[in-house]
Amino acid sequence: MSTKVFERTKGLTKKPFHYCPGCTHGIIHRLVGEVLEELGVLGKAIGVAPVGCSVFAYDYFNCDMHEAAHGRAPAVATGIKRVHPDSVVFTYQGDGDLASIGTAEIVHAAHRGEKITTIFVNNAIYGMTGGQMAPTTLIGQKATTAPLGRDEAHTGKPLKVSEMLSTIDGAKFVERVSVHNAANIRKAKKAIKKAFEVQLAGEGFGIVEVLSTCPTNWGMTPTESLKWLEENMIPYYPLGNFRTPEEVK
């Protein structure tokens, strides 16, 4: 008697992802879908899609979805959650969306303690527009707008969003995870699940920062990208939990 240990989650639609080969967006979409399915909240989940590579996220999640203007997903999610307090509301945002144009929205959504969950995909570059420098681009990392590599004297150091948000009282759950190997993908899923549990318990704002790759704009193969993430991003963006309420520990 054989048992299925892995199959496509009901949290995703049947539509194939449009992402480049090896892009970790697909992994993170799947984790969110699996968590929504396991928590049994697919029927009352409402997601807010960002602008960026994951702009078509509304086609992939098997729940109600809404599109927001660039960076404004937390503001739209605030409105949805306040009108439908019984729903489970999440935003799915990239680093160009959340850490650059949407900084005000994410900081104040956390500051007001909005009972929403944010999945923040940090791949240290603008993917959809062709590899421009993002606030999260590492020092020395090449981008089309930083052809010689990011220069600290000119553009400062990369923004550590999880550390910043963990200083805000309203942000009840803040964790940074990575998806560079199977063990870390399983840890990432646990963190995403906890972030949703914080929302279900009515605690406040929860965010999971997921370190991700962009093989196309980094100019590497998918396997090289995962190695680059492990060797370069994790030392600057340390993994771990920054904040958890007692109830979900």
Partner 1 sequence: MAKAKGKVIFKEDLCKGCELCTTACPVNIVVMDKDRINIKGYHPATVKEMDKCIGCGNCATICPDVVIEVERKIEK
Least gap, CB of 13 to partner 1 (angstroms): 11
Owner of token pair 């439908």: 84
Instruction: Note whether 6 binds partner 1 by CB under 8 A.
Output: yes
Token pair 């400062």 is found at 156
Of the ranges 108-116, 133-141, 176-184, 191-199, which one interacts with partner 1 (CB under 8 A)? Answer: 176-184
Q: Which is nearer to partner 1, 19 or 120 (CB)?
A: 19
Q: For residue 117, give the 3-state DSSP assignment.
A: strand
d(CA 242, CA 159): 16
> How far apart (Å, rounded) are the C-alpha atoms in residues 60 and 82?
25
Closest to partner 1 by CB, 30 vs 172, is 30
What three-state secondary structure class fits 92?
A: strand
Is residue 193 close enough to count as binding partner 1 by CB under 8 A? no
Paired tokens of 19 = 């992402």
Query: Is 195 near partner 1 (CB under 8 A)?
Result: no
Torsion sign over Cα 28, 208, 95, 182: negative
Q: Which is nearer to partner 1, 37 or 163 (CB)?
A: 37
Residue 165 amino acid letter? L
Q: Least distance from C-beta 226 to partner 1, angstroms?
A: 7
State the minimum distance, in angstroms, from the CB of residue 216 to partner 1.
11
Q: How far apart are CA 201 and CA 197, in angstroms?
A: 6
* Cβ 31 to partner 1 shortest distance, Å: 9
CB-CB contact of 132 with 143 (8 Å): yes
Number of residues that bind partner 1 (CB under 8 A): 31
| Residue where the block lists tokens 């956390």 | 110
- Write out the binding residues for partner 1, residues 22-41 only, by CB under 8 A: 22-27, 30
Q: Shortest distance, CB of residue 197 to partner 1, whole angstroms?
A: 21
The residue ranges that bind partner 1 (CB under 8 A) are 1-8, 12, 16-17, 19-27, 30, 179, 181-182, 185-186, 215, 221-223, 226
